Structure 1
Amino acid sequence: MTKLNVTHKKPSRLLTPASGFLKGYSHSLNPYIGCSFACSYCYVRQMPVNLFREGEWGTWVEVKEESAEMLRKELTREKKKQNVRIFMSSSTDPYQPAEARERITRMLLRVLTEDPPDFLLIQTRSPLVLRDIDLIKKLENRVRVSVSMETDEESVRKAITPQAPPISGRLKAIQILQQHNIPVQIAVSPLLPHSPRFPALLGEIGERVVVDDYFLGDGSGGRRTKKLKIPELYHKHGYGEWYSPECLSHFLKQLEKQVKKSRIFISQEGFLP
């Protein structure tokens, strides 16, 4: 495994105006640049932040130093101008392994509990989010934790996103967050090959489920995903028949037998405040 190159830098700003897929939010908030989970289908691989940087996506992480005080100032300023709805994070996982040591996300959360935004969505695939339950609970109905669980098959996880946390850890995280009465959604985003039991599993644990695929979710009808050679990766592992828009339609029909339709959201609508 390639050694992770971790650097530290003070950012020029933290709250970035949101648009496009995040149109329901005023800002995005990314505690890091880069993500060591290195998901094969991550759209950030095709963005300038990665294309014009040395090293493969997933081999480097830039830590945003002095972030807490900067966020405190920006938050005060922005709240005077508009309702502040924050998506954390849009281009990195706020609970990737570096967070266990750097604790940038926890520092930012502490600021957000002191001066709460109108809404905060925390998007992660890491059980490390459980460490911050004490802070997340303070945001009450102003927060939602969105946990990515794209499949129930560990073999698929290892083939498509080998550096991401195991499925069992995510399941446990979802259940514990719910036990603490924290609003949680399961993000099946993107939908990966799975067992026939996956919809039933989501029905057992999912209070809110958002489903997406490569054709709706990559913002280009699947063209970005093709550039990342995901079709070739699927064929390499024998998943070729799963790379199709029809898979989402079939999955939704099965999911509706297990989860109330009012609790199922598709692509962008599921991530809105």
Structure 2
Amino acid sequence: MNGKRVIREKTPRQLLNRATGFLEGYTHTLNPYVGCAFACSYCYVRQMPVALFRGEEWGSWVDIKTEAAEVLRKDLRKARRQEGPVTIFMSSSTDPYQPEEAKFGVTRSLLEVMAGDEAAPNFLFVQTRSPLVSRDLDLLAKLGNRVRLSMTIETDREDMRRAFTPYAPPLQARFRVLKEAVSRGIPAQATIAPVLPSTDSFADRLAEIVDRVCIDDYFMGDGSQGRRTQRLGLKAQYECLGVGDWYDREAYKRVLARLKEHFPQDRIGISQIGFSPQFAPARTPL
């Protein structure tokens, strides 16, 4: 990805979309943006229609959803009235805290609706890899046990982070924000997805911060048993970096074994269960 990103503003007709497939445990998904500036090399969204049919390089453009708060307020009331309990996964095809959020504040406006409206969701899962979420910990705290913050930390090796996700935030900043969230009593987890090459002390470091983790890889979690990821040519990238043995269906088990030394079995969510609303209910903060 080179050059300046193309930013477009669009007002959506609706924000809540029916959750299916991998996220079938939720009633809806919520994406504040279309496109993602982090442009992670392994992102499965690269192989989805939103990216394939755009005609522009993934990561070079972002659509801003304007008037989002009012649209969401209407969607929530309608969903609650017609369907009852509402559980939301934010976000399934973008990062709600990508760089544009600092300027446009779409995600914060949505959280303000969900933290204060009478039609607030029964549960909200916030998936991000961005330290910018620290700005909104006040709103997440208001949601109490109706929210879970999931911070993507695929590895503890910064060289691997730079190789696979050069435009994503540094790992140290993610560890720091996750620790802050937990200290404020916000239900949170570290999400190792996808599993990247890491050190033997990775699990130790995570256990110092959170009491639950999710682990996933390309083969379980890309929605096509690894076929989408295979089309991205990642195997060659692994081999070029000298870590070809990590691109394997069994590779996640070496990290899983370390996690089991520090976390009870019911606090380790493997693939889909780790993202589920039912996984590891909140405990008293560490």
Band of TM-score, shorter chain: over 0.9
State the percentage of identical aligned residues: 52
Is contact 1:202–1:259 with CA below 8 Å preserved after alignment? no
Q: CA deviation at 1:241?
A: 1.2
Q: Which residue number in structure 1 is paired with residue 73 of structure 2?
A: 72
TM-score normalised by length of structure 1: 0.98
Is contact 1:33–1:63 with CA below 8 Å preserved after alignment? yes
Calculate the aligned-residue CA RMSD, in Å: 0.9
Map of 1:176-191 to 2, 5 A cutoff? 176-191=180-195
Q: Which residue number in structure 2 is paired with residue 33 of structure 1?
A: 34
Taking the aligned partners of 1:251 and 1:69, their CA distance within structure 2 comes to: 43
Q: Which residue number in structure 2 is paired with residue 45 of structure 1?
A: 46
Taking the aligned partners of 2:44 and 2:4, their CA distance within structure 1 comes to: 22
Is contact 1:136–1:143 with CA below 8 Å preserved after alignment? yes
Map of 1:257-272 to 2, 5 A cutoff? 257-272=261-276
Q: CA deviation at 1:54?
A: 2.5
Taking the aligned partners of 1:108 and 1:268, their CA distance within structure 2 comes to: 25
Structure 2 counterpart of 1:192, one-letter code: L
SS of residue matched to 2:191: strand
Q: Which residue number in structure 2 is paired with residue 146 of structure 1?
A: 150
Task: Return the match for 1:200 from 194, 201, 204.
Answer: 204
Q: CA deviation at 1:23?
A: 0.6
Figure out how many residues of one structure are paired with residues of the other and give that number.
Answer: 273
Is contact 1:185–1:206 with CA below 8 Å preserved after alignment? yes
Structure 1 counterpart of 2:36, one-letter code: C
The CA deviation string for residues 82-116 of structure 1, in whole angstroms up to 9 with x for no partner, is: 21000000000000000000000000111111222
Is contact 2:182–2:210 with CA below 8 Å preserved after alignment? no
Q: Which residue number in structure 2 is paired with residue 229 of structure 1?
A: 233
The CA deviation string for residues 172-214 of structure 1, in whole angstroms up to 9 with x for no partner, is: 0100001110000100011100111112112222211000011
List runs of 5+ in structure 1 lacking aligned partners. none
Taking the aligned partners of 1:94 and 1:219, their CA distance within structure 2 comes to: 20
1:251 paired with 2:252, answer no
Taking the aligned partners of 1:127 and 1:59, their CA distance within structure 2 comes to: 21
List runs of 5+ in structure 2 lacking aligned partners. 278-286
Taking the aligned partners of 2:223 and 2:91, their CA distance within structure 1 comes to: 17
Taking the aligned partners of 1:89 and 1:134, their CA distance within structure 2 comes to: 19
TM-score normalised by length of structure 2: 0.94
